[in-house]
Structure 1
Amino acid sequence: MNQTSSTPMPLRRSIAVNQLGYPAEAAKSFVYAGPGGEFEIVDTSSEEVVYRSTTGPSHWDEASGATVCRGDFGDLRTPGTYRVSLNGQSSAAFVIDSNPYTDLQQGLLKAFYYLRCGMELEEPFAGPWKHHACHTSEGIVYDDPSLRLDSCGGWHDAGDYGKYTGPGAKAVTDLLLAYEGNPGAFQRSIPLPESDDRMPDVLHECRYELEWLFKMQDPRTGGAFHKLTTKQFPPLDVMPEDDRAALYFLPVSATATACLAGVMAFAARVYRPFDDAFATRCLQAAERAWAWLDRTPPHPDGPGFKNPSDVGTGEYGDASDLDERYWAAAELYRTTGDANYHEAFRELAALPFAKYELGWTNMSGYGTIAYLLGAEASAHTDADLRATLQQGLLAEAERLALRCAEDGYLTSMRPEDYIWGSNMLLMNNAMLFLIARRLGGEERYRELALEHIHYLLGRNVLDISYVSGFGDRPVNHLHYRPSVADDVEAAVPGLVSGGPNRNLNDDYMQEHLQGLPPAQCFVDHELSYAGNEVTIYWNSPAVFAVSQFVK
């Protein structure tokens, strides 16, 4: 059910459900912030009680700061629209359906279209969120101001209008992995301006970003510029086409270069059946980036990229580039079968850094995934290394599973995980569960991933959907410049909010959220950039997770 601009947000309820609904054959539960007891499931069309049971025992949940209990109703599989009734209170209405997340998946993916830079978003595709083309001027190369390059295209990274190589590579990779893992979920047109009957829209959307990433490869060296931004962020109420400050290609970094190599090598495989010339171009870019890395010593402990003194946009600094190199080597080996890339991967795998992370600060998990998935089709991988990495990934999934058993809302989030971008951690963990299941892990990992989707869509202590436009209490006042400036009451739909942040890293949070438990450290307000901003790499793992439950 989509929230419209004229629909007032209901008051927060103590009974938290996934406000969209539950797959008919899956486990189903709600969480109640209270002492529990007998509950009823009511059919909203007939007002008849169709299911009765009793909640489990109550217990204190540290992250939410509440005494909670859970009510299970997995036996109810009849399609319909329902609500939970308990102790005189009611939940949001929700559906039970064989395929309840098709619109959600489409919305999460369509959000990338709204984030496009450099083209007019026309009303037939953008609706009321249309706007003129933006940021079409050439960019200035920061360390050689006499050099100007085409900078047009790609996705705005977040609530600002910057564009960043590493985060863009993560987002594209999540989407390509989602398509690779369940291509049938992407057969329906969004639609996009490029939609045709030949290539799925997810690949059209990724290509829009990949075409821009080509422009981030320094034509002089083959390294990748770290980012393309103005020197300072524009005010919050500025539409993208009105942001006319000079754009700068900020200096090449090893992390950005390795990310470009990794995502381009992956793209070369995925696009080969659809566009051979484009796939070849992707592989050439990847190999040229690797050549730059090959002649540039790694920096395992810094210094990584730092903003120049006159630049105040997002830094995305990263002290170590070992994880990004590890990922790049794995993707290049999987794509080409070249023994040199295999040897580079083996050497990097022997070094002491985490191998299962999926965030922009540590991209190692993508290297592990590429190697393990590639091993399914190759007889030339290192069997011992493959076994070690697979055992490690499954052990990581089991570690997260143990956390789920302890959490009041059934997620893998600990109190200390509610940081800036906590919903990215949430969805990254859901991704890891689903990858672990694909690589031979237990079936319950799939169910645990679904519990994370339930949290995102409202089964949380705040009874809020963290996806704009979806659910009956969705975020709507995002820290996102177009939604602040466009005079449209409803936020751009399908955007994932950053989520609760116990560190209260912005002034608005510090003023309004002092003393709250970690999972309650959130406010749906445009000034809360450390809690209510959006980014491409918060949406992308959500697309991955949700798409694996779409038929």
Structure 2
Amino acid sequence: MSEHIIRAITVNQIGYPAKGSKTALFTGGEHQFRVLDAKTRTAVYSGVTSAAAWDKTSGASVHTGDFSAVTDAGSYLIEAEDGTVSAEFIIEERPYEELQQGLLKAFYFYRCGVELGGEYAGPWGHAACHLAEGSVIGQPGLKLDSSGGWHDAGDYGKYSGPGAKAVADLLLAYEWYPAAFTDSFTLPETDGKTPDVLLECKVELDWLFKMQEAGGGVYHKLTTASFPGLDVMPENDTDELFFSPVSAAATGDFAGVMAMAARIYKPWDEDFAARCLAAAEVAWQWLVQHPEEPGFTNPPGISTGEYGDEEDHDERFWAAAELYRTTGQEMYHEAVQALARLPFPKFALGWADMGGYGTLAYLLTGKDQTDEEIYRTLEEGLLAEADRLAAVSRQDGYRISLREEDYIWGSNMLVMNNALLLLAAERFSGEASYAECALDHLHYLLGRNVLDTSYVTGYGDHPVRHPHHRPSVGDGVEEPVPGLVSGGPDRGLHDEYVREHLQGKPAAQCFADHDLSYSTNEVTIYWNSPAVFVAARFNSGWQG
């Protein structure tokens, strides 16, 4: 593996919107700097960085070079007075269009049960996989069709809750920023009419239907008993598949995303939308009939990712809010009102805490159709959380909302989920400053960080190249599957590789671009999905 030289000047390695603020971050002492045309190397702007400040989280003395005055479209780089240079980057009205296409195309590469062909997959194709029926744990002799959907992560498991979260982010992105999805990135199903994002989400939704048992409950996950080797391609992972038991969390997530899909797909496919709504309603009835369900734990003999969740009020809240928004039926509104008064997180957007999706659904229903007190409480709470994130970002050397303790396994999910919440605050308040803060989070993901690393495979000039992702390890292709979001720094050092190599590092430096580092460099669908959302916002035009 080639050595990664960390530059003292870090930028978004893709680029910056022509309008709005533009900053590079420097380490070390204060600098005079110049913005150079990347082709001619002539200076188009010069400035002086701000005073340096020690940033404990990154372990660096950081200062800012503002070049917001540069607005002409083109390719640029930044040079310090000592000759140090940054990555090249572009300035355009919509610099993230190709990035968004790649982040979305990643879901095609996650597909299970179908051949990924050369026309669409390039060198990263593989044969159809996981076509065998799966055994239902606890029901001897029962086998069910398990094919389709998306692999969850660097392994080949498929999980109902995380899958629902990923689809929700993509559907929200389309609902809020449809102009960002007018261009096709070409899928086998592309018909020239239906937006490709909806075609791709349908792949996962069609699989989720298979996870619902006859009584309405939803199987928590579908996996082999244990993970295959790191170099095993999906078509060679032929161990027996198992449906793990139904859980309330999975059922609530299913009901929420299906009710959401029923609304969004109706203009495109009324029959599919009706099927989604019917499935959501049956799932809701299961939840009503099972008010006190224990949290999910792996059954004996299953050692794949558990995605355990002891608290299911958040999933029920999301389900009720989406069903109310889609149907207008009072019984769902009554459920929302009862659940909203319970003490669970209502602004989180992770696979374990889905209450934020319920809050968004309820606020999007509108003041006229909602309880005045609950609406106000949720709106004020969402804006207060966004203000907290913005305040943390202002104090952070790299302008993101993670505190030292937030550099957890999958910290980049927090980076993008927080950016999504900030953009929700922009939507409900009209304040552009929230979008500016969200954009800083995208800058971080794409290289403006202490490690000078783009955490998206194939994007930027210092991207992650060795993700913990079985197809990228086993396919014999030098470059990894493109468009995958890496998990990012994890101060807990949760795998052997980083425990050996990263002891004593500051939180934001606890990352290894190595395929053995599953705790810092794995990839998942639900780290990609909020990144698609954020990119779509800034591909819809900058109004800041």
Do the two structures share a fold, i.e. TM-score over 0.5?
yes
Shift of 1:402: 0.3
Q: Are 2:212 and 1:214 aligned? A: no
- 1:336 alignment partner, one of 327, 331, 355: 327
Q: How does 1:216-235 map onto structure 2 within 5 Å? A: 216-219=211-214, 221-235=215-229
Distance in 2 (CA, whole Å) between partners of 1:142 and 1:372 is 39
Q: Are 2:239 and 1:248 aligned? A: no
Q: Are 2:281 and 1:287 aligned? A: yes
Distance in 2 (CA, whole Å) between partners of 1:204 and 1:266 is 15
1:459 aligns to what? 448
Give the letter for the 1:453 counterpart. L
1:152 aligns to what? 147
Q: Secondary structure at the match of 1:134?
A: coil
Distance in 1 (CA, whole Å) between partners of 2:345 and 2:230 is 37
Shift of 1:441: 4.5
2:336 aligns to what? 345
Q: How does 1:138-287 map onto structure 2 within 5 Å? A: 138-219=133-214, 221-287=215-281
1:371 aligns to what? 362
Shift of 1:143: 1.0
- Counterpart contact for 1:327–1:368, Cα < 8 Å: yes
What does the per-residue CA deviation read over 1:163-199, in whole Å, with 9 as the maximum and x for residues that have no partner? 0000000000000000001101001111100001211
Q: Are 2:298 and 1:307 aligned? A: yes
Distance in 2 (CA, whole Å) between partners of 1:380 and 1:41 is 52
Q: State percent identity of aligned pairs.
A: 60
Distance in 2 (CA, whole Å) between partners of 1:463 and 1:352 is 40
Q: Secondary structure at the match of 2:79?
A: strand
Distance in 2 (CA, whole Å) between partners of 1:218 and 1:88 is 64
1:360 aligns to what? 351
Distance in 2 (CA, whole Å) between partners of 1:194 and 1:38 is 52
Distance in 1 (CA, whole Å) between partners of 2:136 and 2:300 is 16
1:53 aligns to what? 47
Distance in 2 (CA, whole Å) between partners of 1:441 and 1:314 is 40
1:487 aligns to what? 476
User: Could you state the TM-score of these two structures normalised by the residue count of structure 2?
Assistant: 0.98
- Counterpart contact for 1:9–1:473, Cα < 8 Å: no
Shift of 1:380: 2.6
2:94 aligns to what? 99
Distance in 2 (CA, whole Å) between partners of 1:544 and 1:320 is 26
Shift of 1:448: 0.5
Q: Secondary structure at the match of 1:487?
A: coil
Give the letter for the 1:449 counterpart. A
1:428 aligns to what? 417
Q: Are 2:467 and 1:478 aligned? A: yes
Distance in 2 (CA, whole Å) between partners of 1:505 and 1:42 is 42
Give the letter for the 1:543 counterpart. V
Distance in 1 (CA, whole Å) between partners of 2:172 and 2:3 is 35
Q: Are 2:394 and 1:400 aligned? A: no
Shift of 1:309: 2.0
Give the letter for the 1:324 counterpart. E
- 1:62 alignment partner, one of 56, 61, 64: 56
- 1:127 alignment partner, one of 96, 118, 122: 122
Misfit runs of 4+, over 4 Å:
none
2:113 aligns to what? 118
Shift of 1:10: 5.7
Give the letter for the 1:79 counterpart. A
What does the per-residue CA deviation read over 1:408-430, in whole Å, with 9 as the maximum and x for residues that have no partner? 00111111111100000000000
Q: Are 2:2 and 1:11 aligned? A: no
Q: Are 2:428 and 1:439 aligned? A: yes
Shift of 1:440: 1.5
Shift of 1:26: 1.7
1:415 aligns to what? 404
1:82 aligns to what? 76
User: Could you state the TM-score of these two structures normalised by the residue count of structure 1?
Assistant: 0.97
- Counterpart contact for 1:9–1:472, Cα < 8 Å: no
Give the letter for the 1:36 counterpart. E
Distance in 2 (CA, whole Å) between partners of 1:112 and 1:150 is 21
Distance in 2 (CA, whole Å) between partners of 1:493 and 1:129 is 9
- 1:112–1:9: structure 2 CA closer, same or farther, 3 Å change rule? farther
- 1:498 alignment partner, one of 463, 468, 487: 487
Distance in 2 (CA, whole Å) between partners of 1:298 and 1:407 is 42
Shift of 1:442: 1.6
Distance in 2 (CA, whole Å) between partners of 1:410 and 1:295 is 46
**How many pairs does the alignment contain?**
539
Distance in 2 (CA, whole Å) between partners of 1:188 and 1:44 is 28
Gaps of 5+ in 1: none
Distance in 1 (CA, whole Å) between partners of 2:134 and 2:361 is 34
Gaps of 5+ in 2: none
- Counterpart contact for 1:28–1:73, Cα < 8 Å: yes
Q: Secondary structure at the match of 2:287?
A: helix
What is the root-mean-square deviation of aligned Cα atoms in Å? 1.0
Give the letter for the 1:237 counterpart. D
Distance in 1 (CA, whole Å) between partners of 2:144 and 2:424 is 39
Q: Secondary structure at the match of 1:294?
A: helix
Q: Secondary structure at the match of 2:520?
A: coil
Q: Secondary structure at the match of 1:460?
A: coil
Distance in 2 (CA, whole Å) between partners of 1:313 and 1:10 is 32
- Counterpart contact for 1:116–1:156, Cα < 8 Å: yes
1:71 aligns to what? 65
Shift of 1:510: 0.1
Give the letter for the 1:469 counterpart. G
What does the per-residue CA deviation read over 1:436-485, in whole Å, with 9 as the maximum and x for residues that have no partner? 11112521001110000000000000000000000000001000000000
Shift of 1:11: 2.0
What does the per-residue CA deviation read over 1:473-528, in whole Å, with 9 as the maximum and x for residues that have no partner? 00010000000000000000000000000000000010000000000000100000
Distance in 2 (CA, whole Å) between partners of 1:476 and 1:124 is 23
- Counterpart contact for 1:43–1:50, Cα < 8 Å: yes
1:21 aligns to what? 15
- 2:512 alignment partner, one of 491, 500, 523: 523
Between 1:439-448 and 1:315-324, the stretch displaced more is 439-448
Q: Secondary structure at the match of 1:549?
A: helix
Shift of 1:9: 7.0
What does the per-residue CA deviation read over 1:290-345, in whole Å, with 9 as the maximum and x for residues that have no partner? 0000010235xxx4100012110000000110100000000000000010000001
Shift of 1:37: 2.1
